[in-house]
Amino acid sequence: MFRKILVANRGEIARRIFRACRELGVQSVAVYSEVDRGAPWARQADESYPLKGNAATETYLNAEAIVSIAKAVDAEAIHPGYGFLSENVDFVRLCQRRHITFIGPTPEAMEALGSKARARALAAECGVPVIPGVDGRDMLESELLAAAERLGFPVLIKASGGGGGKGMRIVAHREEFFEALQAARHEALVSFKDDHMLVEKHFPHVRHVEVQVFGDLHGNLVHLFERDCSIQRRYQKVVEESPAPGLAPELRARMAEAALRLVRAVGYTSAGTLEFIVAPDGQFYFLEMNTRLQVEHPVTEAVTGLDLAAWQIRAAAGEPLSFGQADVCHRGHAVECRVYAEDPANDFLPSIGRIDYYRPPAGPGIRCDDGIETGRMISPHYDPLLAKVITWGWDRAEALRKMRRALRDCIVLGPTTNIAFLLDLLDHPAFEAGEVETGFIARHMADWRPGVELTEPVWLALAAFEALHPAPNRREGADEDRGFDPWAGLPGAWRNTS
């Protein structure tokens, strides 16, 4: 086992990995930008060191600075979390040259699966269904248009590298194609320094289902079942759950088998996720692979009982998996909601500013991964994710009941959040019925507005009351608090909009 690990990330995922390090008896090292100085997640590490600047390119994407700190403090390994440098092959090779273990897959596996174009070609070779489309490398714009016409509109133009919805455009009509192609290429060049594009058939009203896989350095490889990530806005996931509601057992088995067939072809190690779309007729198609830990990994942990972050560390240290495929059980149902500092009523624009008051939810079957606290500033430099609320129940109905309670108990005052939006989404009859698809928000929630707005003087008074008279039994694991809770009688929309 490693003695010391540096975590090249920030926020809730850094805190999550520090916790795994502590449970394994490994010392942890944080790095932080200037605006993140004193952040709660950085304080949780055994050691923490500054990165000069605030922009991501100066700090959490500064590979040389991060590796130099790791060498200076004798960290034997670096965990990248997700985002930032987590899928950067050059960073992995830099770690290798400096004799530091990268906690993740090999650079060869990253190169084979990290590019959408290469992963698509490999999937086809392995007999995994791929979305009809073409690889646009070295193709003229007129040739790409001709390919789009053969596929039939609508089509999806997307960047081969990167993710997060950047460099992607849906084109419904021939006349829109060239403008959309140029916009996607420009965005991809700025974001990923690569304007290599794919053109694929676009299927509206599909489900987004992904399969979690895990491999060790000894050739052991398992799948850890699937997650449904269909509830999205601007190609960013908002709600995830496992198992995928209403997915036929036969289809679930075929997707898992296809996922393992693809990753076996490259000798994959560590955690990885294969993303698929499922069409209304039940046919599934390979979308892409994420060669890292996913934001939504807690729902898989909840239903399998496995600590994926800890197993990433153990596998990178050379430890074989202590379980095989037959040992992995799927128990109950788990849901994750992402709490963002954003305004759903204003096209989900990020909201920045000071967190005047924060109270996370707690109770049996409720988990909250966060990296914030009262008094911290929400910076415009990074993703506006504040926290992930995860609930588990014996079935979907119980998990959703706990999620509604957890979100109502989650108090974030100051920046506008999406909590009231999430509560209304969970209460929508189509969602309750499991009728999820990637266009759900656009179809059912496009005109959403918060029901009531809580004025600043009122919520400041409520926050002050609780600070002076806290509920005596508010602690992690307590199902209900005894004593007066000043927030209890307020509708969710009042407590989570500013």
6 and 31 Cβ atoms separated by less than 8 Å: yes
Rounded CA-CA distance 269/192 in Å is: 25
pLDDT at 171: 96
- Please spell the DSSP secondary structure of 29-80, one letter per residue: EEEE-STTTT-HHHHHSSEEEE-SSSSTTTTTT-HHHHHHHHHHTT--EEE-
Q: How confident is the model at residue 58 (pLDDT cuts 50, 70, 90)?
A: very high
Q: Which residues have a Cβ under 8 Å from the Cβ of 459 and sit 6 or more positions away?
A: 356, 357, 413, 495, 498
Domain boundaries, the chain: 4-103, 132-201, 207-444, 456-495
For residue range 82-115, what is the model confidence (pLDDT) as tens digits? Answer: 999 999 999 999 999 999 999 999 999 999 998 8
Whether the CB-CB separation of 48 and 73 falls below 8 Å is answered with no
Phi, psi angle pair for 417, to nearest 5°: -125, 175
| Across 163-183, average pLDDT | 91
224 neighbors 304 (Cβ within 8 angstroms): yes
Residue 493 binned pLDDT confidence (cut-offs 50, 70, 90) = very low
pLDDT at position 117 over 60: yes
Q: Which of 44-53, 388-397, 465-474 has the lowest mean pLDDT?
A: 465-474
Q: What's the pLDDT at 291? A: 96
CA–centroid distance for 177 within its chain: 30
Distance CA 65, CA 292 (A): 21
Third-level CATH fold of 132-201? Dna Ligase; domain 1 (3.30.1490)
- pTM greater than the 0.75 cutoff: yes
pLDDT given at position 483: 56
Beta strands in 74-206 (DSSP E): 77-79, 101-102, 133-135, 155-159, 168-171, 197-201
pLDDT digits (tens, 9 = 90+) for 240-285: 999 999 999 999 999 999 999 999 999 999 999 999 999 999 999 9
Q: Is the pLDDT of residue 392 over 70?
A: yes
CA pair distance 130, 289, nearest whole angstrom: 12
Q: Which CATH number fits domain 207-444: 3.40.50.300, 3.30.1370.60, 3.30.930.10, 3.30.470.20?
A: 3.30.470.20
Q: Are 370 and 337 a contacting pair, CB within 8 Å?
A: no
User: What value does the mean pLDDT take over residues 360-371?
Assistant: 97
pLDDT band at 464 (very low <50, low <70, confident <90, very high): confident
Q: How far apart are CA 93 and CA 116, in angstroms?
A: 20
Q: Which CATH architecture has domain 4-103?
A: 3-Layer(aba) Sandwich (3.40)
pLDDT above 70 for 497: no
- 189 pLDDT tier (thresholds 50, 70, 90): confident
The yes-or-no verdict on residue 468 having pLDDT over 80 is no
Residue 215 sits at φ, ψ, to 5 deg, of: -135, 155
Supply the mean pLDDT for the chain: 92
Best CA proximity match to 294, nearest among 338, 255, 261, 345 = 338
Preceding peptide of 243 cis, ω within 30°: yes
Among candidate residues 16, 292, 314, 359, the one labeled active-site is 292
| pLDDT > 90: percent of the chain | 84
Cβ atoms of 370 and 34 closer than 8 Å: no
Catalytic-residue membership of 174 = no
Instruction: Note the pLDDT tens digit of each residue in 136-148.
Output: 988 999 999 999 9
The pLDDT value given to residue 479: 45
User: How many residues can be counted in the chain?
Assistant: 498
Report residue 376's pLDDT band, with 50, 70 and 90 as the boundaries.
very high
Average pLDDT over residues 197-223: 96
Q: Do the beta carbons of residue 265 and residue 110 sit within 8 Å?
A: no
Q: What pLDDT does 457 receive?
A: 64
**Which tokens belong to 353?**
């500013």
- Range 386-415 average pLDDT: 96
- pLDDT at site 164: 67
Is residue 473's pLDDT more than 70? no
84 close to 61: Cβ distance less than 8 angstroms: yes
